[in-house]
Amino acid sequence: MKNFAFLAFAAVIAAGCCSSKKPCVGDCNDDGKVVAAEVILAGEIAASNEPLAKCKAADQDGDGTVTADEVSAASNASVNGCK
């Protein structure tokens, strides 16, 4: 019985630790959707009017900047949903 409990515990931990959930571009609060305010914030970050720290999810490629392509991707996610 102890082995079963350990295996069940290990399975739960493994499932939670290594989620393959792909981040959604522009989903600043990680709720699985992008709303208009997040797209606007991504645009403000791209224009250097807001710091990237306010929405790291807007930086799709992780290069430390938000480009027009990334703002467009966030906009598409707001219309079409996160995939």
pLDDT of amino acid 59: 98
Rg (CA), the chain: 17
Domain count across the chain? 1
Contact between 26 and 73 under an 8 Å Cβ cutoff? The reply is: yes
Inside any domain, residue 1:
no
In the structure, how many helices (H) and strands (E) does the chain have?
3, 0
Tell me the CATH number at 57: 1.10.1330
4-13, 26-35, 67-76: the lowest-pLDDT one? 4-13
Residue 10: pLDDT over 90: no
Inside any domain, residue 71:
yes
Question: Could you list the residue range(s) of the whole structural domain that residue 65 is in?
Answer: 21-80
Give 14-43 pLDDT, tens digit per residue. Answer: 444 444 466 799 999 999 999 999 999 999
Inside any domain, residue 14:
no
Inside any domain, residue 16:
no
Inside any domain, residue 66:
yes
pLDDT of amino acid 21: 60
Residue 9: pLDDT band with limits 50, 70, 90: very low
